[in-house]
Chains A and B, each alone.
Chain A
């Protein structure tokens, strides 16, 4: 996967986590890294404060020095650049930056106050997860302090709902660009309507696993290592807790059925997973962005 990865950066721990994840993915896929700080237009988000261009300039200088410091932490060999952008909201600014750079991925950190190795959605991430046209990667808190273990495996959480196909396609593209293994986790058992009898569920399960595996095999080249798992447990939280993770692994999920075409919307399944996941997660829009 070439193209570019836009990192929504701030000079905070969360920003460092986002940059660390962006760096890993850029290294694994050969994409260029665009580190972006989005500042409030005229120095403030509040309409009650008089706008001041001079303060905006001062913030720009500050942001440039933050970006220069951040650039020093990016290892050699990764193509990268840094940018300051102004917008009415951070989410809007990142979305615009993603369009501007033709990004294939947007990377964000967790909100402040997230437990170590856990996700916590901030307002920016929430906004983007409801509006982004490109996949959004979320770095759990503390990622920047972990060693870079490359990208050994991609776990795809998949069901039978619309969008599963595209999700698989994204996983395949990412896997072939990075030579990572793919693990397909079927969330099918947790996806069926309540009240269905056990026999029917078992039948559906088996059928689903076969179907997913077949479709994955079709798409992946011979070298890619594919494994298929069924989610265990009674709930999404259980299922996620029972999975084992390799260092450096990431998870791909599709956005909700409620999303507008080509826009992200974090569904309840993904939201529940996010709370339990100790690894980075990428949310993929339900339909493909034009030109991607």
Chain B
């Protein structure tokens, strides 16, 4: 890697500075690069595994995402999950290469700018911010449902669970959750490792318990609509309904694996940078796939794919499946599942908040958004302004959506899948293009810097385009905007969220281009491609 490949953020830090102070010299600030000032890698395999599972938050992801996947591909959900994992894995390889070459808090934004220039970079950053803000609002929305459910399960008063349907109460409680999460993120409240380990272990244990109980009840004849598992459930060629359905299922599946790459990208932070990230990523993936397969098979066995009652394609329950299933399946123990989803959402709120805040911070730093976003809190050392801005937008977005449609959660997930495909796709292709002089350096380079990210990135971008076109249909998502008085025609709301927000981002970009053009002229972050390292 040549010196020029580093981003300004890291070159500034690595400028040779004397180890320590010589009192009275011209530059009063020293000690910048001394080993004493540098923290050592602290994350082991177990720590990274827990981090990975905690970031994915399987209890939350499953309850939010599985309805959509079943709605698209029916009994072949296990197959679509396995299929959806492939592009995520391929893209993650590209992520890892970029993170090694240009560690930067702006991630996708910085990398895409280096590879494709300011405009593509800006849109990639915007895609990441929109995706994380969508998921923040969804996380908080799910947490509200489960808070009321938990209270009703513990108190034995079923009416309490229905309070969540009142949009005013729902939005108010949701905003309180977002405010709490903001406070925790803004102040960088320290969470102990023990607590985090405990929460992850609890979450996994309860999910397994749910699956086992669902299977046992099905076998004993107590299921809603009993089915015995078949091999066809794992066969993607059995999917009926054509390309659109496969794409929709894949986009739900992409959402369910999102966040997994955090384990791969911990390089310098790991105790053993050569081994830890790889092993942790492998272990995380195996555990996540295993738990998802167990859950999907058991809930398909128990509920079937009908669109009435507890059937998994019932739109009423699709955006929050555990909310409907926990009582019937787990009976008196259902509160444990509510608790698991609540804690899983709550603990991933903090780690999720970091993404948009740090990306905005980096964008502010390079002048891609107003400088104020680059502000760091002098007391808590967090991206203060960016954190609060993200929270305000996430809360506002949820409030608007909740009043537009009661099934807002489900619409958000569809739009979210689209957004993840967009910015992951761009990021993967950035990897391919950025390393264009190094493709043929070695077999390893060819695979990790060219083939994997190219295939993964193209798949995700194709998914994005197809979803965007499909989402124009009025029946895509819970409501159609612009329908006539008979409820016919119009455009599905998911299109407005997904494509609408991207177009809005494009407008903001042009405004910023007009107000403060330095970034767009490549003055703060230039395009680059590292030369081949092969010996000639």
Binding site for B on A (CB under 8 A): 10-12, 15, 32, 34, 39-62, 64, 66-68, 71, 79-87, 100, 112
Contacts and interface: CB of A to CB of B under 8 A. Distances in A.
A12 B37 contact: no
Contacts of A45: 188-190
Interface stretch (B5-13, B134-142, B154-162, B320-328): B5-13
Nearest to B47: A47
B39 interface: yes
A204 to B, nearest CB: 47
Given A60-B13, A84-B31, 4 more contacts: A47-B195, A54-B105, A58-B105, A67-B28
B381 A48 contact: no
A32 B190 CA distance: 34
Contacts of B13: 57, 60-61
Contacts of A34: 21
B21 A41 contact: no
Contacts of A86: 37-39
7 contacts: A34-B21, A46-B191, A49-B350, A80-B24, A82-B29, A83-B30, A84-B29
Contacts of B23: 32, 79-81
Nearest to B17: A64
A66 B27 CA distance: 13
Contact of B189 (A46, A56, A58, A87): A46
A55 B269 contact: no
B532 interface: no
Nearest to A53: B268
Given A47-B191, A53-B269, A58-B9, A66 B378 contact: yes
Contacts of A52: 103, 105, 269, 358
B347 A48 contact: yes
A71 B28 contact: yes
What are the 8 closest A-B residue pairs judged by CB atoms, nearest first? Answer: A81-B21, A41-B39, A11-B378, A83-B31, A71-B28, A45-B190, A54-B103, A51-B269
B5 to A, nearest CB: 14
B516 interface: no
B192 interface: yes
B54 A57 contact: no
Given A61-B12, A64-B29, A51 B43 contact: yes
A84 B28 contact: no
B105 to A, nearest CB: 5
Interface string B42-69: 1100010001001100000000000000
B378 A59 contact: no
A45 B269 CA distance: 14
Most buried by B among A52, A58, A85: A58
Contacts of B267: 53
Contacts of B55: 50
A112 B188 CA distance: 16
A11 B361 CA distance: 18
Contacts of A71: 28-29
B463 interface: no
A39 B37 CA distance: 9
Nearest to A50: B262
B376 interface: yes
B378 A79 contact: no
B354 interface: yes
Nearest to A82: B29
A49 B262 CA distance: 10
A47 B192 contact: yes
A282 to B, nearest CB: 23
Contacts of A32: 23
A53 B55 CA distance: 18
Most buried by B among A55, A60, A85: A55
A81 B34 CA distance: 14
A128 B488 CA distance: 69
B29 A112 contact: no
